[in-house]
Amino acid sequence: MDDELIIKKLSKKFGYLEYMVERYFKLFGKEQTIKLLEANEAKFFPSIRLNTLKMDPLRIKKRLEKKGFQLKNIPWSDYGFWVTKSKYPLGATTEYLLGYYYIQQAVSMIPAQVLDPSPNDIIIDMCAAPGGKTTHLAQLMRNEGVILAFDINPNRIKSLRFNLERCGVKNTIGFNLNALEIEKIGITADKILLDAPCTGEGLICFDPSRKKSRKLEDIVFCSDRQKNLLRVAIKCVKRGGIIIYSTCSIAPEENEFVINSILKEKEVEILDLNISFGKEGLTNAFGSKLEPNLIKSKRFYPHFHRTEGFFICKMRKR
């Protein structure tokens, strides 16, 4: 059976737009494509991050276990747990309302950690709402320093402010502002987190509607916007400052191609993430050879890591 027929059958079997499966074939080959499609059908446990700003994490863990929660350690997070069993909805417990934990996908706990914020830093979180990574940054900074958190959507800013208050965050100012316009504020940050708006292709394991809700045009649109956002980040970080770029997409156009394009402007260099988990970034995709240092970035896949599809790259401004 030739590849074209296999692609058609897999697209129909798993409910994808045909172009998506065709792209997976080109990127990963037949065997890994099938494993990816099958993994997206599996059940993924929700995960939480315990909030050290509110209470000692061991006490929170004991409280939750007493309530019947079964928790499994997330290997890359000191305070992250998969919830393998719970008698209650995660967002309806007293502990949640008191801000003792944040419901956050396991792989989404990595960007704040690898940004490695210190209590003295000025941090910009460019696309912050609803606040998972912002509250994580505040936790790592022990509520010291300053975080400037931006989001263009007024409703999402409300969610951000609710979560900041719920989690006891004191060092963060939320702005309802397009991240493309943050230069106007005139602040230079020590470090910037850009969890860029994307197609969300990596979220199919949680949201199957994305199998048919994104077109190639959406990838192109997101890629152009991501490049512009990254250029703004470079302008707003100090020389020698750090930028973390992440997306919940596995499309190279939203990840390696974005970074590759920016590297040609000679303003940043890629740094090692210094993490042992995740797959290396792509240096060749769809017939295009990319900057060799992109191997230092990391990719996460449902069929390898039991997480959503995700991409992370760490850069330093020259």
Give the integer Cα–Cα distance in Å for 236 and 222. 21
Backbone dihedral angles phi then psi of residue 124, each to the nearest 5 degrees: -110, 125
| Placement of tokens 């022990």 in the chain | 142
- Picking from 130, 105, 91, the residue whose alpha carbon sits closest to that of residue 47 is 105
Give the integer Cα–Cα distance in Å for 94 and 71. 17
State yes or no: is 236 an active-site residue. Answer: no
3-class secondary-structure state, position 269: strand
Give the integer Cα–Cα distance in Å for 96 and 98. 5
Q: Identify whether the C-beta of residue 122 lies closer than 8 Å to the C-beta of residue 145.
A: yes
Backbone dihedral angles phi then psi of residue 51, each to the nearest 5 degrees: -100, 105
Q: Is 236 exposed, middle or buried (0-12, 13-18, 19+ CB in 10 A)?
A: buried
CA atoms within 13 A on the CB side of 89: 3
Q: How many CB atoms lie within 10 A of CB 42?
A: 10
CA atoms within 13 A on the CB side of 309: 22
Give the integer Cα–Cα distance in Å for 272 and 297. 7
Give the integer Cα–Cα distance in Å for 74 and 94. 23
- Positive or negative CA dihedral for 9, 15, 17, 21? negative
Q: Which residue among 127, 167, 198, 248 is the active-site one?
A: 248
- Picking from 140, 205, 151, the residue whose alpha carbon sits closest to that of residue 180 is 151
Residues belonging to the active site: 248
